[in-house]
Structure 1
Amino acid sequence: CAPEKRHIVSVFKIIQELLAPSKKKGKNQFQQLMELLPNEHKAKWFAGAALNTAEQSMASVMSTALSRLNAFLDTELEQLLCFDTEIDAETFCNRKSAIFVIMPEENPNTFFMISLIIQQLYREILAVADENGGKLKNRCVFFCDEFGTLPKIESAEMMFSASRSRRLQIVPSSNPSPSYEKNYG
């Protein structure tokens, strides 16, 4: 589909279509779609065992994917996710800049996106550091206010320790909260 139609709702619709009954005996819609791709395509790598699973198991996988995507089917999130962003890790690292991510306190269902943004930007910044011999040209700082209210970032401890040697500092701040204690001890 056209680039302007590639967004989270499109993914949701494609998965729904893949759940439709197959006209080809012994092959579900997902398997038929994967057959159209070259063997070295990344989608086939990620599909793994799902390519050889029974139809009922595949339906379970697809319905799980749909339920996970439901969290993204929000008008504000769609605007954020479906259009080009101005956030560029290389520019962020090489120029004096700041990124402010404002978390809507009234909608805790969106908090997971903040964790994802932090993780993704962190990974991209590490890639920029790797391109520069393992260190950023300029020191970067993540001031993560209300860090304790966010969903747990699984690799947070590693992020804190690995970032320092690359000239990236992560400064979490938070009022004491039950979620902070639960997530990070």
Structure 2
Amino acid sequence: MPVPEPLVVLKKPLTQPIKSAAIEMNKVTRSARLRLSAQNLFARWPNLREASHRLTGLLTVYWPDSQHPEESLLQTCLIAGFIAAEKEFNRQHDDMAEQQAFINSIYTNLTRCLEVTLMVRSKTGWSPYDLSVDGYLDTLINAAHSQEFAWIQNPQIPSNNSKAQLICASRVFTLTELSVAGRLD
């Protein structure tokens, strides 16, 4: 299957292998100068640290932001999430509102991953990566059978499909967290 013109191509071997989600997430928060915001949020909501680790494993720093292909969607999601949570906490001094702001911001930005398709090349050829059922991208990138990755601006499903958005978000957040944020109503 020929691959249309890609937004981003990633070939193996990587110059620097992907480390654990915690290490990769810390790199993003440090480079965005949001380490203190992350620490404060995670001190109040440890479950959001776990969700952020799942987000990091799901997208990695390689998944492009469809609106700004030269930028990482992971970085876009985390920056927006930390800023929204901090702003909400400073405005209301309400921990629950802070958690809701973080989840809703991540949810809104994360669903942009549906605007592109990741094609994975292995020894048998190219195949599309299904974000809703395939393993987390960090594992796939580190797997021996995968050889190359190409993100193309050719979505498999409409990015405004509410069921697809919810499935995508459920790879990061628990149903309880999505419910608290009002995403299951």
Same fold (TM over 0.5): no
Q: TM-score, structure 2 length as denominator?
A: 0.28
Q: Which one has more relative contact order, counting CA pairs under 8 Å at least 6 apart?
A: 2
Q: TM-score, structure 1 length as denominator?
A: 0.28
- Normalized per residue, the structure richer in strand is 2
- Normalized per residue, the structure richer in helix is 1
**Rg (Cα) greater in structure:** 1
